Amino acid sequence: MRREAIPIVSWQGLIFLAGFAAFVILIYTVSPILTRRRLSRWAESRGFRLVSFSTVPLYEGPRAWRRNIYQFDYRVAVETQSGVRREGWLLEDWPFLNLGHPTYEVQWDDVS
């Protein structure tokens, strides 16, 4: 008996790759939205309004090369209730395996 050859590119493989690509695009799109929401909640809980934020690479910031996989440093700019703008470094530290609620540690540029 002769077996039928399985084609290298099958429709199931293409569907899987298309689904995987859609998933990656979704995560890439939704991640900054969720980060902004978390950081806005942090700012509001301390009486600030989040103006802007940016993720910094592992080799930048006051904790450069000392962060683990569950710690994220952000460069943040907030506005106080009196309208004063403050900038600084915000460390978001997640518990093991990103379960639970993160803790935050801020280091302001201005000493006040």
Dist. CA 20–CA 16, nearest whole Å:
6
Q: Which amino acid is at 47?
A: G
- Given a contact cutoff of 8 angstroms between Cβ atoms, the answer to whether 80 and 48 are in contact is yes
Per-residue model confidence as pLDDT tens for the chain (112 residues): 667 765 666 777 888 899 999 999 999 899 899 999 999 999 999 999 999 999 999 999 899 999 888 899 999 999 999 999 999 999 999 887 767 889 999 999 976 5
pTM, entire model:
0.76
Q: Which amino acid is at 58?
A: L
3-class SS at 78? strand
CA 77 to each of CA 13, 23, 68, 86, 110: distance values in angstroms, whole numbers, following the listed order? 45, 31, 24, 6, 12
Dist. CA 53–CA 73, nearest whole Å:
10
